[in-house]
Copies of this chain bind each other. A is one copy, B any other.
Protein backbone atom coordinates (compact mmCIF):
# COMPACT_ATOMS: atom_id res chain seq x y z
CA UNK A 1 0.00 0.00 0.00
CA UNK A 2 1.45 3.36 -0.97
CA UNK A 3 1.34 5.81 1.89
CA UNK A 4 -0.33 9.14 1.23
CA UNK A 5 2.81 11.25 1.49
CA UNK A 6 3.36 13.49 -1.54
CA UNK A 7 6.75 13.65 -3.27
CA UNK A 8 8.67 16.43 -4.98
CA UNK A 9 9.33 15.74 -8.64
CA UNK A 10 11.73 17.89 -10.61
CA UNK A 11 11.48 17.83 -14.39
CA UNK A 12 14.68 18.44 -16.41
CA UNK A 13 15.75 20.29 -18.50
CA UNK A 14 12.85 22.70 -17.97
CA UNK A 15 13.45 22.83 -14.23
CA UNK A 16 9.77 22.60 -13.30
CA UNK A 17 9.10 21.27 -9.79
CA UNK A 18 5.79 19.63 -8.98
CA UNK A 19 4.27 17.72 -6.10
CA UNK A 20 3.13 14.18 -6.92
CA UNK A 21 0.97 12.01 -4.71
CA UNK A 22 1.99 8.32 -4.82
CA UNK A 23 -1.36 7.19 -6.24
CA UNK A 24 -1.28 9.53 -9.23
CA UNK A 25 0.87 8.75 -12.27
CA UNK A 26 3.67 11.16 -13.19
CA UNK A 27 1.69 11.92 -16.36
CA UNK A 28 -1.38 12.95 -14.36
CA UNK A 29 0.64 14.80 -11.75
CA UNK A 30 2.46 16.76 -14.46
CA UNK A 31 -0.80 17.59 -16.21
CA UNK A 32 -2.41 18.77 -12.97
CA UNK A 33 0.55 21.10 -12.49
CA UNK A 34 0.11 22.54 -15.96
CA UNK A 35 2.92 20.56 -17.57
CA UNK A 36 1.48 18.70 -20.56
CA UNK A 37 3.34 15.61 -21.71
CA UNK A 38 2.68 14.31 -25.22
CA UNK A 39 0.04 11.57 -25.45
CA UNK A 40 -2.25 10.13 -28.06
CA UNK A 41 -3.93 7.67 -25.73
CA UNK A 42 -4.66 10.10 -22.90
CA UNK A 43 -2.48 8.32 -20.36
CA UNK A 44 -3.64 4.76 -20.97
CA UNK A 45 -0.21 3.21 -21.57
CA UNK A 46 -0.88 2.57 -25.24
CA UNK A 47 0.84 5.17 -27.37
CA UNK A 48 4.31 5.40 -25.87
CA UNK A 49 4.49 9.16 -26.40
CA UNK A 50 4.97 10.23 -22.78
CA UNK A 51 8.46 8.73 -22.42
CA UNK A 52 10.57 10.12 -19.61
CA UNK A 53 13.90 9.14 -18.05
CA UNK A 54 14.16 8.64 -14.29
CA UNK A 55 17.49 10.24 -13.30
CA UNK A 56 17.19 9.92 -9.53
CA UNK A 57 14.75 8.49 -6.97
CA UNK A 58 12.46 5.50 -6.49
CA UNK A 59 9.39 4.66 -8.57
CA UNK A 60 7.04 1.73 -9.05
CA UNK A 61 8.59 -0.98 -11.29
CA UNK A 62 7.79 -1.02 -15.06
CA UNK A 63 4.41 -2.61 -15.86
CA UNK A 64 3.42 -4.86 -18.77
CA UNK A 65 2.52 -1.94 -21.04
CA UNK A 66 5.97 -0.46 -20.57
CA UNK A 67 7.67 -3.81 -21.12
CA UNK A 68 5.80 -4.11 -24.40
CA UNK A 69 6.52 -0.61 -25.67
CA UNK A 70 10.04 0.02 -24.33
CA UNK A 71 13.07 -2.08 -25.26
CA UNK A 72 15.04 -3.88 -22.59
CA UNK A 73 17.91 -1.45 -23.09
CA UNK A 74 15.62 1.57 -22.74
CA UNK A 75 14.21 0.14 -19.52
CA UNK A 76 17.71 -0.52 -18.20
CA UNK A 77 18.64 3.07 -18.92
CA UNK A 78 15.73 4.26 -16.78
CA UNK A 79 13.37 5.12 -19.61
CA UNK A 80 9.71 4.93 -18.54
CA UNK A 81 6.22 5.90 -19.66
CA UNK A 82 5.10 8.74 -17.39
CA UNK A 83 1.52 7.43 -17.45
CA UNK A 84 2.60 4.07 -16.00
CA UNK A 85 5.02 5.39 -13.39
CA UNK A 86 4.25 6.39 -9.80
CA UNK A 87 6.63 8.16 -7.43
CA UNK A 88 7.91 6.30 -4.39
CA UNK A 89 10.35 9.02 -3.33
CA UNK A 90 11.35 12.49 -4.46
CA UNK A 91 12.36 12.23 -8.12
CA UNK A 92 14.41 13.89 -10.81
CA UNK A 93 12.97 13.23 -14.24
CA UNK A 94 14.42 13.98 -17.68
CA UNK A 95 11.74 14.85 -20.24
CA UNK A 96 12.89 14.26 -23.83
CA UNK A 97 11.96 17.00 -26.19
CA UNK A 98 9.45 14.90 -28.09
CA UNK A 99 7.50 14.18 -24.92
CA UNK A 100 7.00 17.84 -24.17
CA UNK A 101 4.06 19.60 -25.75
CA UNK A 102 5.71 22.88 -26.54
CA UNK A 103 4.53 25.31 -29.14
CA UNK A 104 2.14 22.95 -30.83
CA UNK A 105 1.28 24.45 -34.17
CA UNK A 106 -2.15 26.02 -33.95
CA UNK A 107 -4.01 24.85 -36.97
CA UNK A 108 -7.13 26.89 -36.63
CA UNK A 109 -6.26 29.62 -39.09
CA UNK A 110 -7.90 29.45 -42.46
CA UNK A 111 -8.08 31.06 -45.83
CA UNK A 112 -11.83 31.27 -45.86
CA UNK A 113 -13.65 34.54 -46.43
CA UNK A 114 -14.75 36.90 -43.65
CA UNK A 115 -18.45 37.60 -43.08
CA UNK A 116 -20.16 40.73 -41.78
CA UNK A 117 -21.10 40.52 -38.07
CA UNK A 118 -24.82 40.39 -37.28
CA UNK A 119 -24.63 39.13 -33.69
CA UNK A 120 -27.43 37.93 -31.40
CA UNK A 121 -26.19 40.16 -28.62
CA UNK A 122 -25.54 43.89 -28.40
CA UNK A 123 -24.05 46.08 -25.67
CA UNK A 124 -25.95 49.03 -24.21
CA UNK A 125 -24.19 51.37 -21.78
CA UNK A 126 -26.45 53.24 -19.34
CA UNK A 127 -26.20 55.54 -16.33
CA UNK A 128 -28.96 55.35 -13.72
CA UNK A 129 -29.97 57.64 -10.86
CA UNK A 130 -29.60 55.99 -7.45
CA UNK A 131 -32.73 55.15 -5.43
CA UNK A 132 -34.09 57.47 -2.73
CA UNK A 133 -37.01 57.20 -0.34
CA UNK A 134 -39.05 58.99 -3.04
CA UNK A 135 -37.85 56.65 -5.82
CA UNK A 136 -37.82 53.05 -4.64
CA UNK A 137 -38.07 51.41 -8.06
CA UNK A 138 -36.58 47.89 -7.89
CA UNK A 139 -33.07 47.57 -9.35
CA UNK A 140 -34.17 45.68 -12.44
CA UNK A 141 -37.00 48.14 -13.13
CA UNK A 142 -34.49 50.98 -12.80
CA UNK A 143 -32.24 49.29 -15.36
CA UNK A 144 -35.13 48.67 -17.74
CA UNK A 145 -36.29 52.27 -17.45
CA UNK A 146 -32.75 53.49 -18.23
CA UNK A 147 -32.45 51.12 -21.22
CA UNK A 148 -35.83 52.29 -22.50
CA UNK A 149 -34.87 55.92 -22.17
CA UNK A 150 -31.35 55.72 -23.59
CA UNK A 151 -31.80 52.99 -26.20
CA UNK A 152 -35.53 52.52 -26.75
CA UNK A 153 -35.47 48.94 -25.47
CA UNK A 154 -38.69 47.65 -23.91
CA UNK A 155 -40.19 44.50 -22.41
CA UNK A 156 -36.87 43.06 -21.27
CA UNK A 157 -36.52 40.00 -19.05
CA UNK A 158 -33.54 38.37 -17.32
CA UNK A 159 -32.60 35.08 -15.71
CA UNK A 160 -32.37 34.97 -11.94
CA UNK A 161 -28.61 34.43 -12.35
CA UNK A 162 -28.41 37.89 -13.95
CA UNK A 163 -30.87 39.50 -11.54
CA UNK A 164 -28.76 38.30 -8.60
CA UNK A 165 -25.78 40.33 -9.81
CA UNK A 166 -27.55 43.68 -10.17
CA UNK A 167 -27.63 45.17 -6.63
CA UNK A 168 -23.86 44.80 -6.10
CA UNK A 169 -22.81 45.87 -9.63
CA UNK A 170 -25.05 48.95 -9.53
CA UNK A 171 -23.92 50.09 -6.08
CA UNK A 172 -20.23 49.30 -6.59
CA UNK A 173 -20.00 51.17 -9.90
CA UNK A 174 -21.90 54.39 -9.33
CA UNK A 175 -24.89 53.12 -11.29
CA UNK A 176 -22.91 53.15 -14.57
CA UNK A 177 -23.08 49.81 -16.34
CA UNK A 178 -23.28 48.07 -19.70
CA UNK A 179 -26.18 45.69 -20.32
CA UNK A 180 -25.71 42.89 -22.85
CA UNK A 181 -29.05 42.17 -24.51
CA UNK A 182 -30.07 39.21 -26.65
CA UNK A 183 -33.49 39.76 -28.19
CA UNK A 184 -35.61 40.69 -25.19
CA UNK A 185 -33.27 39.10 -22.66
CA UNK A 186 -30.60 40.80 -20.57
CA UNK A 187 -27.86 38.14 -20.45
CA UNK A 188 -25.38 40.09 -18.35
CA UNK A 189 -24.59 43.44 -16.79
CA UNK A 190 -21.03 44.66 -16.26
CA UNK A 191 -19.43 47.71 -14.69
CA UNK A 192 -18.64 50.67 -16.93
CA UNK A 193 -18.49 50.42 -20.71
CA UNK A 194 -17.48 47.05 -22.20
CA UNK A 195 -17.70 45.26 -25.55
CA UNK A 196 -19.45 41.88 -25.95
CA UNK A 197 -17.32 38.82 -26.74
CA UNK A 198 -18.06 35.29 -27.92
CA UNK A 199 -16.53 31.83 -27.63
CA UNK A 200 -16.37 29.64 -30.78
CA UNK A 201 -15.39 26.00 -30.37
CA UNK A 202 -14.75 22.99 -32.58
CA UNK A 203 -15.15 20.04 -30.22
CA UNK A 204 -13.28 17.32 -32.09
CA UNK A 205 -13.04 13.69 -31.06
CA UNK A 206 -9.29 14.15 -30.65
CA UNK A 207 -8.71 17.90 -30.40
CA UNK A 208 -10.59 20.95 -29.25
CA UNK A 209 -9.98 24.28 -31.00
CA UNK A 210 -11.35 27.55 -29.66
CA UNK A 211 -11.49 31.25 -30.55
CA UNK A 212 -12.39 34.34 -28.57
CA UNK A 213 -14.16 36.78 -30.88
CA UNK A 214 -15.34 40.38 -30.66
CA UNK A 215 -19.04 40.05 -31.47
CA UNK A 216 -19.43 43.59 -32.73
CA UNK A 217 -16.48 43.61 -35.16
CA UNK A 218 -16.01 39.87 -35.81
CA UNK A 219 -12.32 40.28 -34.92
CA UNK A 220 -10.49 37.21 -33.57
CA UNK A 221 -8.94 38.19 -30.25
CA UNK A 222 -7.22 34.92 -29.35
CA UNK A 223 -7.17 31.22 -30.11
CA UNK A 224 -6.30 28.15 -28.10
CA UNK A 225 -6.39 24.37 -28.45
CA UNK A 226 -6.34 21.29 -26.22
CA UNK A 227 -6.69 17.52 -26.58
CA UNK A 228 -10.19 16.18 -25.98
CA UNK A 229 -9.95 14.88 -22.39
CA UNK A 230 -12.43 12.08 -23.13
CA UNK A 231 -9.61 10.28 -24.98
CA UNK A 232 -8.94 8.37 -21.76
CA UNK A 233 -12.37 6.72 -22.26
CA UNK A 234 -11.65 5.65 -25.83
CA UNK A 235 -9.92 7.17 -28.80
CA UNK A 236 -12.86 6.57 -31.07
CA UNK A 237 -16.44 7.69 -30.76
CA UNK A 238 -17.96 4.23 -30.37
CA UNK A 239 -15.76 3.27 -27.40
CA UNK A 240 -16.88 6.43 -25.61
CA UNK A 241 -20.55 5.83 -26.38
CA UNK A 242 -20.23 2.27 -25.13
CA UNK A 243 -18.52 3.46 -21.97
CA UNK A 244 -21.43 5.80 -21.26
CA UNK A 245 -24.06 3.19 -22.12
CA UNK A 246 -22.48 0.71 -19.71
CA UNK A 247 -21.70 3.02 -16.77
CA UNK A 248 -24.58 4.67 -14.95
CA UNK A 249 -22.45 7.70 -14.13
CA UNK A 250 -20.50 7.66 -17.41
CA UNK A 251 -22.52 10.38 -19.13
CA UNK A 252 -21.96 12.83 -16.31
CA UNK A 253 -18.26 12.02 -16.01
CA UNK A 254 -17.51 12.38 -19.73
CA UNK A 255 -19.57 15.57 -19.96
CA UNK A 256 -17.76 17.05 -16.97
CA UNK A 257 -14.37 16.21 -18.49
CA UNK A 258 -15.18 18.24 -21.59
CA UNK A 259 -16.82 21.03 -19.60
CA UNK A 260 -13.63 21.39 -17.58
CA UNK A 261 -11.41 21.56 -20.64
CA UNK A 262 -13.71 24.06 -22.35
CA UNK A 263 -13.56 26.20 -19.23
CA UNK A 264 -9.75 25.95 -19.20
CA UNK A 265 -9.63 27.07 -22.83
CA UNK A 266 -11.96 29.95 -22.04
CA UNK A 267 -9.76 30.80 -19.07
CA UNK A 268 -6.71 30.88 -21.30
CA UNK A 269 -8.42 33.07 -23.93
CA UNK A 270 -9.71 35.50 -21.32
CA UNK A 271 -6.27 35.64 -19.70
CA UNK A 272 -4.54 36.22 -23.05
CA UNK A 273 -6.82 39.10 -23.95
CA UNK A 274 -7.16 40.65 -20.49
CA UNK A 275 -10.94 40.85 -20.61
CA UNK A 276 -13.47 39.76 -17.98
CA UNK A 277 -15.50 36.54 -18.06
CA UNK A 278 -18.70 38.53 -17.76
CA UNK A 279 -18.00 40.03 -21.20
CA UNK A 280 -18.21 36.59 -22.81
CA UNK A 281 -21.91 36.64 -23.61
CA UNK A 282 -22.40 34.06 -26.35
CA UNK A 283 -20.89 30.78 -27.54
CA UNK A 284 -21.19 28.35 -30.41
CA UNK A 285 -19.87 24.80 -30.07
CA UNK A 286 -19.73 22.43 -33.02
CA UNK A 287 -18.78 18.77 -32.99
CA UNK A 288 -19.88 15.46 -34.41
CA UNK A 289 -23.20 14.09 -33.20
CA UNK A 290 -21.60 11.86 -30.57
CA UNK A 291 -19.48 14.73 -29.20
CA UNK A 292 -22.44 17.11 -28.92
CA UNK A 293 -24.57 14.37 -27.32
CA UNK A 294 -21.83 13.72 -24.77
CA UNK A 295 -21.38 17.47 -24.22
CA UNK A 296 -25.09 17.91 -23.50
CA UNK A 297 -25.38 14.65 -21.57
CA UNK A 298 -28.03 13.40 -23.95
CA UNK A 299 -28.71 9.64 -23.93
CA UNK A 300 -26.42 7.80 -26.38
CA UNK A 301 -27.43 4.15 -26.11
CA UNK A 302 -29.69 4.47 -29.18
CA UNK A 303 -26.88 6.29 -31.01
CA UNK A 304 -24.43 3.42 -30.47
CA UNK A 305 -26.62 0.64 -31.88
CA UNK A 306 -28.47 0.21 -35.18
CA UNK A 307 -30.25 2.14 -36.57
CA UNK A 308 -28.00 4.76 -34.84
CA UNK A 309 -30.61 7.38 -33.94
CA UNK A 310 -29.68 10.74 -32.47
CA UNK A 311 -31.74 11.93 -29.50
CA UNK A 312 -31.73 15.42 -30.95
CA UNK A 313 -30.91 16.66 -34.44
CA UNK A 314 -32.18 20.22 -34.21
CA UNK A 315 -30.09 23.03 -32.88
CA UNK A 316 -30.01 23.33 -29.11
CA UNK A 317 -29.55 26.51 -27.10
CA UNK A 318 -28.49 25.78 -23.57
CA UNK A 319 -27.50 28.01 -20.61
CA UNK A 320 -23.70 28.32 -20.42
CA UNK A 321 -24.02 27.53 -16.71
CA UNK A 322 -25.44 24.10 -17.59
CA UNK A 323 -22.13 23.32 -19.31
CA UNK A 324 -20.23 24.72 -16.34
CA UNK A 325 -18.86 27.58 -18.47
CA UNK A 326 -17.83 30.72 -16.64
CA UNK A 327 -19.35 33.37 -18.87
CA UNK A 328 -21.93 36.14 -18.44
CA UNK A 329 -24.53 34.79 -15.97
CA UNK A 330 -27.33 34.71 -18.55
CA UNK A 331 -25.18 33.56 -21.51
CA UNK A 332 -26.35 30.70 -23.68
CA UNK A 333 -24.45 28.27 -25.88
CA UNK A 334 -25.69 27.51 -29.39
CA UNK A 335 -25.16 23.97 -30.64
CA UNK A 336 -26.05 23.92 -34.36
CA UNK A 337 -28.23 21.19 -35.85
CA UNK A 338 -26.76 17.94 -37.15
CA UNK A 339 -27.50 15.98 -40.29
CA UNK A 340 -27.49 12.39 -39.05
CA UNK A 341 -26.27 10.14 -36.29
CA UNK A 342 -22.75 10.39 -37.67
CA UNK A 343 -22.79 13.69 -39.50
CA UNK A 344 -22.80 16.37 -36.91
CA UNK A 345 -22.89 20.08 -36.30
CA UNK A 346 -19.19 20.28 -37.20
CA UNK A 347 -20.01 19.12 -40.72
CA UNK A 348 -22.80 21.70 -40.95
CA UNK A 349 -20.26 24.29 -39.83
CA UNK A 350 -17.77 23.12 -42.47
CA UNK A 351 -20.40 23.26 -45.25
CA UNK A 352 -21.30 26.75 -44.09
CA UNK A 353 -17.74 28.09 -43.87
CA UNK A 354 -16.91 26.59 -47.29
CA UNK A 355 -20.09 28.14 -48.73
CA UNK A 356 -21.03 24.72 -50.10
CA UNK A 357 -24.69 25.69 -49.61
CA UNK A 358 -24.22 28.63 -51.97
CA UNK A 359 -22.53 28.91 -55.39
CA UNK A 360 -22.77 27.00 -58.66
CA UNK A 361 -19.78 24.71 -59.12
CA UNK A 362 -19.61 20.96 -58.62
CA UNK A 363 -17.67 20.86 -55.40
CA UNK A 364 -16.54 18.32 -52.86
CA UNK A 365 -15.87 19.28 -49.23
CA UNK A 366 -13.70 16.84 -47.30
CA UNK A 367 -13.05 17.28 -43.58
CA UNK A 368 -10.41 14.76 -42.55
CA UNK A 369 -10.32 13.70 -38.93
CA UNK A 370 -10.88 10.61 -36.82
CA UNK A 371 -14.12 10.53 -38.73
CA UNK A 372 -13.92 12.03 -42.20
CA UNK A 373 -17.02 13.82 -43.43
CA UNK A 374 -17.58 14.49 -47.10
CA UNK A 375 -20.21 16.71 -48.71
CA UNK A 376 -20.93 17.22 -52.37
CA UNK A 377 -22.70 20.11 -54.05
CA UNK A 378 -23.83 19.65 -57.60
CA UNK A 379 -25.66 22.24 -59.71
CA UNK A 380 -29.19 21.06 -60.40
CA UNK A 381 -29.48 19.13 -57.15
CA UNK A 382 -31.61 21.02 -54.65
CA UNK A 383 -29.91 19.30 -51.74
CA UNK A 384 -26.40 18.65 -50.56
CA UNK A 385 -25.36 15.07 -50.03
CA UNK A 386 -22.95 13.98 -47.37
CA UNK A 387 -21.36 10.91 -45.87
CA UNK A 388 -19.11 10.00 -42.99
CA UNK A 389 -16.24 7.50 -43.04
CA UNK A 390 -14.48 5.97 -40.06
CA UNK A 391 -10.97 6.94 -41.14
CA UNK A 392 -9.43 6.57 -37.69
CA UNK A 393 -6.78 8.72 -36.06
CA UNK A 394 -3.78 7.63 -38.18
CA UNK A 395 -3.51 11.01 -39.94
CA UNK A 396 -3.45 12.66 -36.52
CA UNK A 397 -0.39 10.63 -35.59
CA UNK A 398 -2.12 8.10 -33.37
CA UNK A 399 -1.62 4.36 -33.95
CA UNK A 400 1.54 5.25 -35.89
CA UNK A 401 4.67 4.09 -34.10
CA UNK A 402 6.51 7.39 -34.47
CA UNK A 403 3.43 9.48 -35.05
CA UNK A 404 3.08 12.71 -33.13
CA UNK A 405 1.11 15.92 -33.09
CA UNK A 406 2.23 18.82 -35.27
CA UNK A 407 4.67 20.12 -32.67
CA UNK A 408 8.30 21.14 -32.75
CA UNK A 409 10.47 18.38 -34.27
CA UNK A 410 7.62 16.75 -36.17
CA UNK A 411 8.58 15.71 -39.70
CA UNK A 412 6.15 17.43 -42.07
CA UNK A 413 7.80 16.92 -45.46
CA UNK A 414 9.67 13.87 -46.77
CA UNK A 415 11.54 13.15 -49.96
CA UNK A 416 13.23 9.79 -50.42
CA UNK A 417 16.15 10.08 -52.86
CA UNK A 418 18.41 7.45 -54.33
CA UNK A 419 20.94 7.96 -51.59
CA UNK A 420 19.03 9.07 -48.58
CA UNK A 421 16.06 10.96 -47.14
CA UNK A 422 15.45 14.72 -47.28
CA UNK A 423 13.07 16.08 -44.75
CA UNK A 424 11.64 19.21 -43.17
CA UNK A 425 10.62 19.41 -39.54
CA UNK A 426 8.51 21.92 -37.69
CA UNK A 427 10.75 24.68 -36.29
CA UNK A 428 13.65 22.94 -38.14
CA UNK A 429 14.20 21.09 -34.89
CA UNK A 430 15.88 17.64 -34.82
CA UNK A 431 13.31 15.10 -35.99
CA UNK A 432 11.45 13.19 -33.29
CA UNK A 433 8.42 11.81 -35.16
CA UNK A 434 5.93 12.29 -37.96
CA UNK A 435 2.89 14.52 -37.98
CA UNK A 436 0.00 13.92 -40.37
CA UNK A 437 1.42 15.66 -43.43
CA UNK A 438 4.76 13.89 -42.91
CA UNK A 439 2.99 10.54 -42.74
CA UNK A 440 1.30 11.15 -46.10
CA UNK A 441 4.53 12.42 -47.67
CA UNK A 442 6.53 9.49 -46.36
CA UNK A 443 3.98 6.94 -47.52
CA UNK A 444 3.77 8.48 -50.99
CA UNK A 445 7.55 8.52 -51.22
CA UNK A 446 7.89 4.92 -50.06
CA UNK A 447 5.53 3.93 -52.82
CA UNK A 448 7.18 6.15 -55.45
CA UNK A 449 10.58 4.72 -54.56
CA UNK A 450 9.30 1.17 -54.85
CA UNK A 451 10.03 0.45 -51.21
CA UNK A 452 6.38 -0.63 -50.79
CA UNK A 453 4.29 -2.22 -53.53
CA UNK A 454 0.75 -1.27 -54.57
CA UNK A 455 -0.68 -3.55 -51.87
CA UNK A 456 1.37 -1.65 -49.30
CA UNK A 457 3.84 -4.44 -48.53
CA UNK A 458 7.46 -3.52 -47.90
CA UNK A 459 9.94 -4.97 -50.39
CA UNK A 460 11.98 -7.01 -47.95
CA UNK A 461 14.55 -7.73 -50.65
CA UNK A 462 15.42 -4.04 -50.80
CA UNK A 463 18.49 -3.35 -48.70
CA UNK A 464 17.02 -0.09 -47.38
CA UNK A 465 14.12 -1.97 -45.75
CA UNK A 466 14.97 -3.13 -42.25
CA UNK A 467 13.39 -5.72 -39.99
CA UNK A 468 12.20 -4.61 -36.58
CA UNK A 469 9.83 -5.54 -33.80
CA UNK A 470 6.76 -4.97 -36.00
CA UNK A 471 8.19 -6.63 -39.10
CA UNK A 472 9.54 -4.71 -42.07
CA UNK A 473 10.36 -1.06 -41.50
CA UNK A 474 12.05 1.93 -43.06
CA UNK A 475 14.30 4.24 -41.09
CA UNK A 476 13.68 7.90 -41.89
CA UNK A 477 16.12 9.28 -39.32
CA UNK A 478 18.72 7.17 -37.54
CA UNK A 479 18.99 7.52 -33.76
CA UNK A 480 22.27 9.40 -34.00
CA UNK A 481 20.64 12.26 -35.93
CA UNK A 482 17.21 12.26 -34.34
CA UNK A 483 16.06 14.55 -31.58
CA UNK A 484 15.04 11.60 -29.43
CA UNK A 485 18.21 9.50 -29.70
CA UNK A 486 16.02 6.79 -31.22
CA UNK A 487 15.40 5.82 -34.85
CA UNK A 488 12.41 7.52 -36.46
CA UNK A 489 10.74 4.66 -38.32
CA UNK A 490 7.83 3.80 -40.57
CA UNK A 491 6.80 0.20 -40.00
CA UNK A 492 4.67 -2.26 -41.95
CA UNK A 493 2.02 -1.82 -39.25
CA UNK A 494 2.06 1.95 -39.84
CA UNK A 495 1.56 1.50 -43.58
CA UNK A 496 -1.36 -0.83 -42.88
CA UNK A 497 -2.99 1.76 -40.58
CA UNK A 498 -2.61 4.41 -43.27
CA UNK A 499 -4.13 2.07 -45.85
CA UNK A 500 -7.20 1.53 -43.66
CA UNK A 501 -7.65 5.26 -43.33
CA UNK A 502 -7.25 6.03 -47.01
CA UNK A 503 -9.48 3.07 -47.94
CA UNK A 504 -12.33 4.51 -45.90
CA UNK A 505 -11.97 8.02 -47.35
CA UNK A 506 -11.58 6.76 -50.89
CA UNK A 507 -14.71 4.61 -50.61
CA UNK A 508 -16.68 7.53 -49.19
CA UNK A 509 -15.68 9.82 -52.07
CA UNK A 510 -16.47 7.21 -54.69
CA UNK A 511 -19.87 6.37 -53.24
CA UNK A 512 -20.88 9.99 -52.94
CA UNK A 513 -19.94 10.63 -56.56
CA UNK A 514 -21.90 7.56 -57.67
CA UNK A 515 -24.90 8.35 -55.48
CA UNK A 516 -25.22 11.80 -57.03
CA UNK A 517 -24.47 10.57 -60.56
CA UNK A 518 -21.36 12.72 -60.73
CA UNK A 519 -18.60 11.54 -63.08
CA UNK A 520 -15.15 12.24 -61.56
CA UNK A 521 -14.28 14.57 -64.45
CA UNK A 522 -17.22 16.82 -63.53
CA UNK A 523 -15.73 17.74 -60.16
CA UNK A 524 -14.46 21.30 -60.34
CA UNK A 525 -13.32 21.90 -56.80
CA UNK A 526 -12.16 19.84 -53.83
CA UNK A 527 -12.10 21.74 -50.56
CA UNK A 528 -9.85 20.07 -47.99
CA UNK A 529 -10.82 21.09 -44.49
CA UNK A 530 -9.46 20.08 -41.12
CA UNK A 531 -6.25 20.72 -39.28
CA UNK A 532 -4.49 17.79 -40.90
CA UNK A 533 -5.65 18.74 -44.36
CA UNK A 534 -4.27 22.23 -44.15
CA UNK A 535 -0.61 21.16 -44.11
CA UNK A 536 -1.03 18.25 -46.46
CA UNK A 537 0.94 17.93 -49.70
CA UNK A 538 -1.94 17.35 -52.10
CA UNK A 539 0.32 15.80 -54.76
CA UNK A 540 1.51 13.24 -52.23
CA UNK A 541 -2.05 12.59 -51.14
CA UNK A 542 -3.05 11.89 -54.75
CA UNK A 543 0.11 9.84 -55.34
CA UNK A 544 -0.65 7.56 -52.41
CA UNK A 545 -4.31 7.30 -53.44
CA UNK A 546 -5.81 9.21 -50.50
CA UNK A 547 -7.55 11.50 -53.00
CA UNK A 548 -8.67 10.28 -56.40
CA UNK A 549 -7.11 11.66 -59.56
CA UNK A 550 -9.77 14.20 -60.51
CA UNK A 551 -8.73 15.64 -63.90
CA UNK A 552 -10.34 19.10 -63.72
CA UNK A 553 -10.48 19.57 -59.98
CA UNK A 554 -8.86 22.42 -58.17
CA UNK A 555 -7.77 21.47 -54.67
CA UNK A 556 -8.20 24.15 -51.99
CA UNK A 557 -6.90 23.68 -48.45
CA UNK A 558 -8.91 25.79 -46.02
CA UNK A 559 -7.78 24.73 -42.54
CA UNK A 560 -10.20 24.08 -39.71
CA UNK A 561 -13.40 25.11 -41.50
CA UNK A 562 -15.55 23.72 -38.67
CA UNK A 563 -14.29 26.25 -36.17
CA UNK A 564 -14.64 29.02 -38.76
CA UNK A 565 -18.24 27.91 -39.29
CA UNK A 566 -18.70 28.00 -35.50
CA UNK A 567 -17.33 31.52 -35.48
CA UNK A 568 -19.69 32.58 -38.26
CA UNK A 569 -22.67 31.22 -36.34
CA UNK A 570 -21.37 32.96 -33.24
CA UNK A 571 -21.22 36.40 -34.84
CA UNK A 572 -24.09 36.18 -37.30
CA UNK A 573 -27.76 35.41 -37.00
CA UNK A 574 -27.88 34.99 -40.76
CA UNK A 575 -25.22 32.27 -40.53
CA UNK A 576 -27.37 30.44 -37.96
CA UNK A 577 -30.31 30.57 -40.35
CA UNK A 578 -28.11 29.17 -43.12
CA UNK A 579 -26.97 26.37 -40.77
CA UNK A 580 -30.57 25.42 -40.00
CA UNK A 581 -31.26 25.24 -43.75
CA UNK A 582 -28.12 23.20 -44.41
CA UNK A 583 -29.17 20.65 -41.82
CA UNK A 584 -32.65 20.39 -43.31
CA UNK A 585 -31.49 20.20 -46.91
CA UNK A 586 -28.57 17.82 -46.71
CA UNK A 587 -29.24 14.14 -47.27
CA UNK A 588 -27.08 11.67 -45.44
CA UNK A 589 -25.70 8.55 -47.14
CA UNK A 590 -24.93 5.66 -44.85
CA UNK A 591 -21.83 4.20 -46.50
CA UNK A 592 -21.69 0.82 -44.79
CA UNK A 593 -25.09 -0.24 -46.17
CA UNK A 594 -24.20 0.94 -49.69
CA UNK A 595 -23.85 -1.86 -52.30
CA UNK A 596 -20.26 -3.01 -52.73
CA UNK A 597 -19.01 -0.81 -49.89
CA UNK A 598 -16.58 -3.55 -48.82
CA UNK A 599 -15.13 -3.88 -52.28
CA UNK A 600 -14.72 -0.13 -52.70
CA UNK A 601 -13.06 0.04 -49.32
CA UNK A 602 -10.61 -2.76 -50.21
CA UNK A 603 -9.79 -1.14 -53.55
CA UNK A 604 -9.22 2.16 -51.83
CA UNK A 605 -6.59 0.55 -49.62
CA UNK A 606 -4.43 -0.21 -52.65
CA UNK A 607 -1.91 2.28 -53.97
CA UNK A 608 -2.68 3.65 -57.46
CA UNK A 609 -1.04 1.57 -60.20
Contacts and interface: CB of A to CB of B under 8 A. Distances in A.
Interface of A: 131-133, 135-141, 144, 157, 159-160, 163-164, 166-168, 171, 296-299, 301-302, 306-314, 316-318, 322, 338, 340-341, 588, 590, 593
A136 B312 contact: no
Nearest to A340: B136
B590 A313 contact: no
Q: Which of A159, A160, A301, A307 has the most CB of B within 10 A?
A: A160
Given A163-B312, A307-B133, A302 B140 contact: no
Chain A to chain B: the 7 pairs with minimum beta-carbon distance, closest first: A138-B313, A138-B310, A167-B299, A133-B307, A140-B312, A131-B309, A167-B302
6 contacts: A133-B307, A136-B309, A138-B310, A141-B312, A166-B311, A167-B301
A309 B133 contact: no
Q: Which of A308, A309, A341 has the most CB of B within 10 A?
A: A309
B131 A311 contact: no
Contacts of A133: 306-307, 590, 593
A108 to B, nearest CB: 27
A310 B131 CA distance: 11
Nearest to A308: B136
A302 B137 CA distance: 12
B171 A302 contact: yes
How many subunits of this chain does the assembly comprise? 2
Contact of A160 (B163, B302, B322): B322
A136 B289 CA distance: 13
A168 B299 contact: yes
B311 A139 contact: yes
B311 A140 contact: yes
A307 B137 CA distance: 10
A128 to B, nearest CB: 12
A545 to B, nearest CB: 30
B139 A309 contact: yes
Contact of A311 (B163, B297, B316): B163
A180 to B, nearest CB: 18
A138 B335 CA distance: 15
A588 B133 CA distance: 12
A163 B593 contact: no
A327 B299 CA distance: 20
Nearest to A301: B167
A136 B139 CA distance: 50
Nearest to A338: B138
Contact of A298 (B135, B163, B308): B163
A318 B306 CA distance: 38
Contacts of A306: 133
A338 B299 CA distance: 41
Contacts of A322: 160
Given A139-B302, A311-B140, A297 B164 contact: yes
